[in-house]
Amino acid sequence: MQGMHLAELNVGRLLAPTDDPRVAEFMAALDRVNGLGKRMPGFVWMMEGSGAPGTGNTEAKIGGDPQYVSNLTVWESVETLENFVWNTVHRAFYERRAEWFEVLGKMHFVMWWVPAGHRPTLDEALAKLALREANGDSDAAFGWAYLKEAQLWQSHQCARAAAE
């Protein structure tokens, strides 16, 4: 979209506290995976945490729950986000998410268009997630299936419900 960028929020609840050995491999990979994302063509912005090694933005608690973590980023286009998600080491961690995260039983991922230069807040992103959960996909809040230009998610053996 001309003059627009793609924002995405992905939330999850860790199976254990961030310093627990059960999630240590995931926590240890955050800096590497996030660093790769920041170097990808089309990356625009990422919500940051304290900057402490191995913490990502896990300080951004949801509902005061320290095991709820979020990832909020902005990309130039659907294609650039898809490339990072499905064609890098990120995919391997995504495919192993059940090792570290609870199954939430509700929406955990949303995308929406923002004006170029806009940096969404976590509250704004959570409102988009709630909108998608309440109303399904719309121009205001959507998942991969809503985007005609999104193709990679379909071909990576990812169950449709899990990808959305």
Q: Which domains does the chain have, with CATH numbers?
A: 4-163 (3.30.70.100)
Q: What is the pLDDT along the chain (164 residues), one digit of tens a residue?
A: 789 999 999 999 999 998 999 999 999 998 899 999 999 999 999 998 645 555 555 556 688 888 888 899 999 999 999 999 989 998 888 889 999 999 887 878 999 999 999 999 999 999 999 999 999 999 999 998 888 777 776 665 444 444 44
- Contact criterion met (CB below 8 Å) for 11 and 68: yes
Residue 1, SS3?
coil
Q: What is the pLDDT of residue 160?
A: 42
- Contact criterion met (CB below 8 Å) for 119 and 45: yes
Gyration radius of the chain over CA positions = 15
